[in-house]
């Protein structure tokens, strides 16, 4: 690879978090479980719960709009939009196409989704870096709602959210080291969601084993190709199906490098706990409050690190491990930008968490019920918009149901709670596919406000 090749990576990053959350104390009480099982065993304290009018599309749109607004991005400069998701809303139309229209990007833009469980956004990022090497800009957005059956072992790890990243040859947030590839792929059935099921199926212990196997392999590859070891990295970030997984990952790498079996009763874990506190814990606090956001999990950790330690993280080397069940793993290394003012006050993570609303278990179940109802054709015409007084107060876009087999999205400000119909009324002579595009392009909107 030519030494003159320009650097590429993340120029800007934002996070969107749903406005509602359920504490795991409340979930534990409902199921008669000791809360310590969730707090200590999983490392979780609460989980983000999207309102039924919020989905993979609306969260992605919110994150992308914030990216454009907070970093003064020219939408016309974006020539590539990639959405990493495993909770798409249609079997053919990608989430990225909805986001493209609702976020107001220009027509000269490639859009597509990448699906490979939780690895999708990382795959998109690496592809976007190749695009950025040519002097062009891309947006990669990870957006997901993780769902498991109520009462299942996976339920307390649920979460929802979106992370948007501007990728360019001006990587002020994270410069990706792409002179090597440390990838590990193996076809396994550790986690999947059948097309007939609204929730995922997971073989928990097997999935953890697959995760760690991919980590060991990709870590060894990285070390062999770069000559680096964990002492070279100030921070080590991991995909987090649950926060406590980071300790398993940390000890796995320690065993690779030291040859010591840390699971042995005779092993002294105190030195490793100190390293873990310094290199890993600074990226965990957001996942502890939000839960698993699938494709965005690793990148949520990066955002948490940047917000939590903006000054001390600046200029530091970092390793990032991405894992997608099925499976594909990749170990990435990079350098955080030298100037924290490039991202300070713009990510939006801490501010979003401090303004959330806590809900109880009954409302959580009602949200889930209404979410399923809004997926059915005709749900828009039936006005199945639940719990009017608890609509997301800051949502830039609302999902209002399905009309004539088409999903209906509206600007958040144009929904009036307590009415039988949305305040935004559709002109019957206007093709639905034109709604979002015309509104964002500044043309006369295809609806009228009553």
Strand, coil or helix: 390: helix
Query: Which entry of 11, 44, 51, 86 is annotated as an active-site residue?
Result: 86
* CA distance linking residue 371 with residue 145, whole number of Å: 11
Q: 């839960």: which residue's tokens? A: 291
* CA distance linking residue 210 with residue 276, whole number of Å: 22
Strand, coil or helix: 233: coil
239 flagged as catalytic: yes
* CA distance linking residue 391 with residue 388, whole number of Å: 6
What is the signed CA dihedral for 397, 398, 401, 402, rounded to 10 degrees? -10
User: Are the C-beta atoms of 385 and 409 separated by less than 8 Å?
Assistant: no
Cα separation values, 127 from 131, 179, 183, 257, 370, Å? 7, 14, 14, 30, 37
Burial 319-338 (b: 16+ CB within 10 A, else e): bbbbbbbbbbbbbbbbbbbe
User: Which DSSP letter does residue 46 get?
Assistant: E
* CA distance linking residue 20 with residue 54, whole number of Å: 11
First to last CA, the chain: 60
Query: Which entry of 116, 184, 239, 250 is annotated as an active-site residue?
Result: 239
* CA distance linking residue 159 with residue 340, whole number of Å: 28
Is the previous residue joined to 227 through a cis bond, with omega within 30 degrees of 0? Answer: no
365 is written with which tokens?
A: 């179940």
* CA distance linking residue 171 with residue 148, whole number of Å: 36
247 is written with which tokens?
A: 């300790």
83 flagged as catalytic: no
User: Are the C-beta atoms of 147 and 198 separated by less than 8 Å?
Assistant: yes
Q: How many CA atoms lie within 13 A of 243 on its CB side?
A: 29
* CA distance linking residue 146 with residue 123, whole number of Å: 19
Query: Which entry of 83, 118, 210, 436 is annotated as an active-site residue?
Result: 118
100 flagged as catalytic: no
Burial 106-125 (b: 16+ CB within 10 A, else e): eeebebebbbbbbbbbbbbb
277 is written with which tokens?
A: 């506190």
Question: Which residues are designated catalytic?
Answer: 86, 118, 239
């Amino acid at each position: 690879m030519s030494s003159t090749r320009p650097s590429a990576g993340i120029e800007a990053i934002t996070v969107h978090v749903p406005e509602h959350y359920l504490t795991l104390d409340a979930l534990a009480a409902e199921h008669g479980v000791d809360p310590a099982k969730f707090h200590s065993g999983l490392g979780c304290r609460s989980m983000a719960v999207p309102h039924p009018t919020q989905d993979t599309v609306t969260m992605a749109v919110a994150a992308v709009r914030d990216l454009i607004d907070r970093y003064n991005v020219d939408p016309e400069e974006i020539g590539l939009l990639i959405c990493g998701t495993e909770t798409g809303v249609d079997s053919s139309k990608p989430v990225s196409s909805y986001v493209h229209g609702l976020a107001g990007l220009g027509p000269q833009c490639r859009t597509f989704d990448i699906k490979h469980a939780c690895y999708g956004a990382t795959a998109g990022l690496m592809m976007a870096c190749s695009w950025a090497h040519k002097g062009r800009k891309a947006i990669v957005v990870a957006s997901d709602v993780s769902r498991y059956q109520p009462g299942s072992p996976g339920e307390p790890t649920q979460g929802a959210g979106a992370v948007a990243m501007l990728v360019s040859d001006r990587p002020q947030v994270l410069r990706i080291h792409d002179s090597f590839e440390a990838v590990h792929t193996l076809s396994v059935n550790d986690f999947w969601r059948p097309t007939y099921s609204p929730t995922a199926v997971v073989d928990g212990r097997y999935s953890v084993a697959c995760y760690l196997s991919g980590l060991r392999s990709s870590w060894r590859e990285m070390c062999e190709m770069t000559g680096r070891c964990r002492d070279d990295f100030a921070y080590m970030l991991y995909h987090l199906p649950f926060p406590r997984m980071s300790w398993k990952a940390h000890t796995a790498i320690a065993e690779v490098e030291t040859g010591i079996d840390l699971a042995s009763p005779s092993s002294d874990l105190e030195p490793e706990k100190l390293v873990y506190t310094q290199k890993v814990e600074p990226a965990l606090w957001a996942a502890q409050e939000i839960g698993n956001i699938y494709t965005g999990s690793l990148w949520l950790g990066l955002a948490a690190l940047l917000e939590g330690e903006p000054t001390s993280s600046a200029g530091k080397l970092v390793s990032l491990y991405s894992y997608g069940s099925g499976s594909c793993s990749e170990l990435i290394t990079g350098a955080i930008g030298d100037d924290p003012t490039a991202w300070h006050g713009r990510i939006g993570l801490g501010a979003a968490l401090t303004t959330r609303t806590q809900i109880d278990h009954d409302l959580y179940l009602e949200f889930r019920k209404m979410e399923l109802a809004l997926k059915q054709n005709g749900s828009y015409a039936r006005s199945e918009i639940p719990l009017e007084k608890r609509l997301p107060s800051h949502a830039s876009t609302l999902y209002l149901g399905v009309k004539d087999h088409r999903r209906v999205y509206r600007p958040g400000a144009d929904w009036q709670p307590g009415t039988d119909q949305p305040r935004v009324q559709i002109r019957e002579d206007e093709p639905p596919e034109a709604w979002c595009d015309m509104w964002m392009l500044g043309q006369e909107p295809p609806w009228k406000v009553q």
